[in-house]
Structure 1
């Protein structure tokens, strides 16, 4: 599922901006389909413009019936009555979606015979202190089994002792959910940590869900700002 909201707060209309001759959302949809990993790929949107664009290229698209705070809610509404086991959320602003990372996510559920994992997500090692400090970069810390302990816009862990060689990981907003966990998320109210940080996956932690983090080396470009779009255009060339 690819949640695709037109009026993004930081960069309105970004999903319809041109990237190498096609809109960003079209590039993301085609990249996801081309992985050949999924039984179906569906764009879920609140926008007639995006709906028409995906329809025009013969893609599978659904309209959200309700207003939603986040992509997980939008997806939950769309899959509520579908007979599925695991659903993967690829963000609409991820045109460089690739096979390797998504395969790793799906493998988590194939290996999880005892169903200990509620959802899985991706993280990338980062070393640039400016990026670590940047509140637009969501950081994650994990336990020894790579289950998420917390997500934050602040640098975590805080380098109180600078002689400790702490590693920092950026959270990439690609998720795979068990349907049950996703529907729980949809029905449970937002609590204070999620509301404070504005990071939706914190809700899962606040309600005791287990998030398995998968390290990937593929950085890609998430298009959150006009500057990101310019970087994406250079990378596309």
Structure 2
């Protein structure tokens, strides 16, 4: 932990990937057997980390989320004219809805991800409080209407993460597929809690690392 982390009380405030050791990523090539073993390991770790997150007191998660929001403000800086892709919280994820909605007053637009179909990239749809929502995959609310947009910034929730910025998600590959398909890559920021840190997620050829991580320690 560096001096900045000790002062701020964050586990890994907005780590820039160029500061990470590139040898740490351990990207695996197209090896079917290795990929199968990694998939099994990820499934086990995913279940463990989600259970731990859900078992954490809501008040502790809320306090940590407030600190995450403050760090995002400092790291992003200017919001006017930018489109922020965020997410509707699920299974104990940091609830950044209030933070995102507050950026409308700063001149930003906000958008939520929508699963169009399995194996396809997400579609980000413009959304504002009061716009109609409907149930999407896993019953997560998504905009029923709204313009399809390309975010300038994508805030992605983490199930797990490693020091190289690789993200462990829910296993559908939606974020990786979406980022790879975008004509212009947005600034990607993964958000989560310190206990979700893993030595490595054993990244595969298709995994796309986050540009930055904003990680908060639970009190």
**Same fold by TM (over 0.5)?**
no
Compare relative contact order (CA 8 Å, sep 6+) and give the higher one, 1 or 2.
Answer: 2
Q: What TM-score comes out, normalization by structure 1 length?
A: 0.28
